[in-house]
Amino acid sequence: MDILLQQIINGLVQGSIYALVALGYTMVYGIMGLINFAHGEVVMIGTLVSITVAGSLIEAGMPVSLAGMAGLSASVLACMALGWGLERIAYRPLRNAPRLTPLITAIGMSIVLQNLAMMIWGRNYLTFPSFLPKIDFELAGANFTAIQVIIVVVSATTMGGLLLLVYRTKLGMAMRATAQNPAVASLMGVNINRVIAAAFVIGSALGALAGVMVGSYYEIAHYQMGFMLGLKAFTAAVLGGIGNLAGAMLGGVLLGIIEALGAGYIGDLTGGFLGSNYQDIFAFVVLIVVLMFKPSGLFGEKTGDRA
Amino acid sequence: MSEVLLEAKAVAKHFGGVQALREVSLSIRRGEIYGLIGPNGAGKTTFFNCMTGLYVPDGGGFVFAGAPLLADAPHRAAERGIARTFQNIRLFGNMTALENVMVGRHVRTGAGIFGAMFQNAATRAEEAAIRQKADDLLHYVRIEERADDLARNLSYGDQRRLEIARALATDPKLLCLDEPAAGMNATETAELRELIDGIRSDGTTVLLIEHDVKLVMGLCDRVAVLDYGALVIEDVPAVVQKDQRVIEAYLGA
Amino acid sequence: MTSRFFRSAVGIGLLAVALIALPFVAALGGQAWVRILDFAILYIFLALGLNIVVGFAGLLDLGYIAFYAVGAYTWALLASPHFGLHLPIWVILPIGASLACLAGVVLGSPTLKLRGDYLAIVTLGFGEIVRIFLNNLNAPINITNGPQGITLIDPVAFGSFKFSGTTQIFGLALSGPQKYYYLLVTLAILVVVINLRLQHSRIGRAWQAIREDEVAAKAVGINTRNIKLLAFAMGASFGGIAGGIFSAMQGFVSPESFSLIESIMVLSMVVLGGMGHIPGVILGAVLLSILPEALRYGIGPLQTAVFGKMLVDPESLRMLAFGLALVLVMRFKPAGLWPSPTRQRELAEAKS
């Protein structure tokens, strides 16, 4: 029982991170129908920037918590700029190109970012400075740490804020209108370019936050970390119904829990044939199964092909 | 007249709260030109799409040449002998006119991957036959001079003709034309009329959805009128023309 | 007419002489260059296999390398000391191709109804699943030998004629890579002919029709799902064959050779060269397999010469250049470097 609870808690934490990253995919896809393949790399760069900034500030004698905040802010700003630049330079010129063209560009950008990161930060694993005191809690036989609590709380708050932004502000309304029908929205006076840029910038900011969380949770980072994380977050977005914000959040949490439970029990399920080293296949299996049986996702409405 | 080729039995279809088709029943006889008319949004194209398998009806169904038509399998409809054109012309734009018609032969031919790879005698003979038939059909609709032009570079009227040739390439028993005269001038319409008449004389039953009431009344053996998704009347043009309900439907009284 | 026939006959003759002489020219720069040549031709083969899927049928497959892996491991398991099996080529190659084909059908049949970009992600996921299994199927039963891979794989052999080691033929000493070269060129010519024949066949026209307008294709009676599946299965089979040859040529396979970046590399050959246009795809394959090697040999020494030390790792520069090339070509030449005349018009239309 307590193992089950423990796995659910672990899954919830991991899932909150997936959810934050998934929002970046789902916002961009919802508005312009593009799978921003490079989003995972944005998250990776966010993590590495925060390490460099926080690390050097700590070395310069700044208090750990302050340095952590500075690292987070620097990472958010860097990613917002990166997201904006990606859209402006790589994707905007391809707005009316056939569907596969921007997808291939996105793959190309992903390769570029990964290799730039490798040149800057090297091939080795980097350790993440621990910003937070290590406090353990216990609940009904399951252990969890302060950082886990913080991840879940901060994610939930941020996502609440995003929902407010999208459903209560003028920018949010413009975003929803563009997602429905870009041509009509622009006739009604919505500045499509600004809306799309906003989706990239906001998505990247959330990605940076997620990146810092991943870093402080696992205390380790690497230039290749973005790929798998991005792919799983994309799966979460599809699981929840791509284009649907609440869906991406629920999908992220659900995927996190499926993975944690799957990794915990796969040995028992297959009579010891497959071990927890197969953890990574769950996301792909979930992705394939969802797309096969319910391509609109668990919480998505059935929408037509808007190509 | 003669036997029934296609029978629609209480076909119903709704989109959300809109009842696009209300239990429409009608029958098309072999060898006739059958007109389906009605004001905009009356459900003509929806009826068409249900029949050709693009939509699954909510109720009722079709019997074609003595056997029920399966819903949700557009390629089967063509196999059974129902060919169609589209209201907003859907050609394979980057293929030549000739290739468009050759694609139409797909369903009546059988060469597979291995035939293509080894180019055996049977495959080569079949390919020659496909080409011959496509040439003949381009002649038939009188656009043989455009055979090697890309479909999308043809004039509007020629694109309509090409679409009909592609449909005829599937050897249909029933040819369904969705507003073929839309956007045509009087000369083009007269030529189209001649073409459709000829197709019927050559033994293909024709279902014609049209806006141009004059064309329909002059060409069709029988006409059905749809309004708000329901069948108003099904009869010979002389009777339909005088029917009070039809006049009201069109005048919107 | 006759002069044109004569000209093309001369052209083919010259090409044949060039193809025959090439490995001897390359050998002047060392056997390493012959091996690079071999790989370029293997990539042509792979890219033309993928071209059926991406170029002809318009399906974006990001997991193509998985089928290559299936072929490679089939050869490795059936012709190496790992299981003590040493089956001959005409047994293994068909098995590898069939298994790859089967994998293609299993993956394709439920997923081919998906829209293009979803299909891309699903195939990518499939590729990763295959790689994860290859990496981990060493316990509890050792099937793939895990990350260490399988070694001492048998070379291609017809009877007692082996493709590894040097042989004397008509007084000429032919090295292993040179022999593989002729085998690969033969296979590549075969796949070019198959591509050409498919393109102008009933099935090829159906593929193009589906790419142009799927609804209209269905309306003329094309069973779009089956025809797409056919493309997928064909592409997968070619991948399987290429994998088998790769395995035999290398004598060693490990999961590392079948990562996502390899799938992307082969896809890029097709896309950068010119989707659906056979000469373009060949150009793409040659460029992307030879240029990086040239960079590898050129950039390292150049840096040491100019700066006195290695500033940037050539491998990452190579990948960086590759990523940038993808972005730039999509931006300025979206139909590829050598597109088919039709495809160029298609894209011009879409842009306007």
Give the helix ranges, DSSP H, for chain A.
2-32, 39-59, 64-85, 100-121, 146-168, 170-180, 182-187, 192-218, 225-240, 245-269, 279-293
- Residues B160 and B189: their CA atoms lie apart, in Å, by 11
A107 in any annotated domain: yes
- Report angle CA B79, B81, B85 to the nearest 5 degrees: 100
ipTM, two decimals: 0.91
Number of domains in chain A: 1
pLDDT on residue C342: 63
Query: Per residue in C34-61, pLDDT tens?
Result: 888 999 999 999 999 999 999 898 888 8
User: Which residues constitute the domain of residue A171?
Assistant: 23-128+140-293
| Chain C residues inside the 8 Å CB shell of B76 | 221
Query: Per residue in B6-32, pLDDT tens?
Result: 999 999 998 877 888 999 999 999 999
| Chain C residues inside the 8 Å CB shell of A119 | 312-313, 316, 320
Q: Number of CB pairs < 8 Å for A and C?
A: 125
Mean pLDDT of C314-333: 85
Q: With an 8 Å Cβ cutoff, is A234 touching chain C? A: yes
Q: Distance from CA of residue C87 to its chain's centroid?
A: 24
Whether the pLDDT of residue C107 is over 80: the answer is yes
Whether the pLDDT of residue B102 is over 90: the answer is yes
Contact: C223, B99; criterion CB under 8 Å: no
pLDDT on residue A305: 36
- Residues C275 and A100: their CA atoms lie apart, in Å, by 11
Contact: B91, C197; criterion CB under 8 Å: no
- Residues of B numbered 56-85 whose beta carbons fall under 8 angstroms of chain C's beta carbons: which are they? 74-79, 83-84
- Residue B175's DSSP bridge partners are B83, B206
- Residues A119 and C317: their CA atoms lie apart, in Å, by 9
Find chains touching chain C: ≥3 CB pairs under 8 Å: A, B
Top-confidence range, B88-102, B202-216, C137-151: B88-102
pLDDT on residue A254: 92
> Among residues of chain B, what percentage have pLDDT more than 90?
50
pLDDT on residue C346: 54
Amino acid at B138: L
pLDDT on residue C344: 54
For an interface test with C, give the residue of A235, A266, A284 to mutate (most C CBs within 10 A): A284
CB neighbour list of residue C187: distance below 8 Å, 6 or more residues apart: C45, C241, C245
Q: With an 8 Å Cβ cutoff, is C203 touching chain B? A: yes
| Chain C residues inside the 8 Å CB shell of A281 | 128-129, 132-133
- Residues A219 and A225: their CA atoms lie apart, in Å, by 12
The larger pLDDT score, comparing residue C174 to residue C88, is at C88
pLDDT on residue A307: 29
Whether the pLDDT of residue C329 is over 80: the answer is yes
Q: Are C270 and C284 in contact (CB under 8 A)?
A: yes
Whether the pLDDT of residue C171 is over 50: the answer is yes
User: At the topology level of CATH, where does B1-81+172-253 sit?
Assistant: Rossmann fold (3.40.50)
Mean pLDDT of C273-296: 86
Mean pLDDT of C193-216: 92
- Chain position carrying tokens 């029949």: B51
Contact: C350, A118; criterion CB under 8 Å: no
Whether the pLDDT of residue C314 is over 80: the answer is no
* CA dihedral (C241, C243, C244, C249) positive or negative: positive
Q: Are C255 and C237 in contact (CB under 8 A)?
A: no
Whether the pLDDT of residue A303 is over 60: the answer is no
Lowest-confidence pick of B195-199, B206-210, C166-170, C247-251:
C166-170
Whether the pLDDT of residue C209 is over 80: the answer is yes
Whether the pLDDT of residue B165 is over 80: the answer is yes
Q: With an 8 Å Cβ cutoff, is C213 touching chain B? A: yes
Domain residue spans in chain B?
A: 1-81+172-253, 94-166
Residues written for chain A: 307
**Pair of tokens at residue C56:** 């002809």
- Average pLDDT for chain A: 86
- Average pLDDT for chain C: 85
Q: Using CA atoms in the order C219, C224, C226, C231, what is the torsion angle rounded to 10 degrees?
A: 140
Contact: B116, C198; criterion CB under 8 Å: yes
Query: Per residue in A53-75, pLDDT tens?
Result: 998 998 888 888 888 899 999 99
| Chain A residues inside the 8 Å CB shell of C327 | 90, 105, 108-109, 112
- Residues C341 and C196: their CA atoms lie apart, in Å, by 16
Tally of CA atoms within 13 A in the half-sphere of C161 that contains its CB = 9
> Among residues of chain B, what percentage have pLDDT more than 70?
98
A60 in any annotated domain: yes
- Residues of A numbered 11-30 whose beta carbons fall under 8 angstroms of chain C's beta carbons: which are they? none
Whether the pLDDT of residue C315 is over 80: the answer is no
pLDDT on residue C345: 55
Q: Are B162 and B193 in contact (CB under 8 A)?
A: no
Distances (CA, A) of B148 to B38, B96, B155, B165: 38, 5, 14, 15
Whether the pLDDT of residue C352 is over 70: the answer is no
Q: CB count, 10 Å around CB of C88? A: 14
